[in-house]
Amino acid sequence: MTDLFYRRWFLLALVAVNAAGTVWGFVWYWEQLTATPWYFLLFVPDSPGHAAVFALYIWWLAAGRAGRLGPWQRFFAWTGVLGVIKYGLWTTVIISQYLLAQGSQPGVEDWMLYASHGGMAVQGLVYMGRLPRVALPAALTVLWLAVNDFFDYVLFTHPRLPLPDQVAAAAGTNVALTLAVAALAVWLLRRNMTGRE
């Protein structure tokens, strides 16, 4: 089964899926992006931005370049993988909290968000094993995610939330997931050091 995940046609299909998801995500964020000052724009589209970077990493896997990445490419690889795990899980948690608070059943858009963002997280977990085991890009990625948390919940560039009183829960979930993916990065790097691939 794992062989399937690394077949070129399958990787290219994932690139296409993530590219389509990126476009859809930017459409979803469009109103917020047009109302945001240009100097905050980088910190607004969390899910589509990381899906785009993840698609780039998968493209490198498909091209057989994963073992020959330069310093910035290694940073993008780590950012794509940890970002889709974090924001994929974050979205499913926030939608679930909203539905439980309202006592409502998921609608079509909710199921679409569950599927797309749950899929993001699963992809990151599947392909994290091929990340370059270099500490600096991993550390820079965790720093980037922490800075993004600061912008999202101190400077309020976070995505629109279903409920106004979800801000504290959204912020707490974000910080917890940043810590979780930081721990995941440490685990991956330690596996490399101990020779357990």
Give 43-74 pLDDT, tens digit per residue.
999 999 999 999 999 999 999 988 889 999 99
103 or 134, which is more confident: 134
Q: Which two tokens stand for residue 7?
A: 């077949």
> In this model, does residue 173 exceed pLDDT 50?
yes
Using CB atoms within 10 Å of the CB of residue 157, give its burial: 0 to 12 exposed, 13 to 18 middle, 19+ buried. buried
What share of the chain has pLDDT > 90, as a percent? 80
- pLDDT value of position 51: 97
Residues contacting residue 121 through CB under 8 Å, at least 6 positions apart: 84, 85, 88, 89, 92
| Contact (Cβ atoms closer than 8 angstroms) between residue 76 and residue 56 | yes
Q: Which two tokens stand for residue 167?
A: 């801000």
- pLDDT value of position 142: 98
- pLDDT value of position 100: 87
187: how many CB neighbours lie within 10 A of its CB?
Answer: 11
Regarding pTM above 0.85, the answer is yes
> In this model, does residue 192 exceed pLDDT 70?
no
190: how many CB neighbours lie within 10 A of its CB?
Answer: 11
193 or 174, which is more confident: 174
Q: Which two tokens stand for residue 86?
A: 């974090």
Q: What is the C-alpha R_g of the chain?
A: 17
| Section 17-23 average pLDDT | 97
Q: Which two tokens stand for residue 79?
A: 């950012």
- pLDDT value of position 193: 65
What does the domain layout of the chain look like in residue ranges?
A: 2-194
- pLDDT confidence of 151, banded at 50, 70, 90? very high
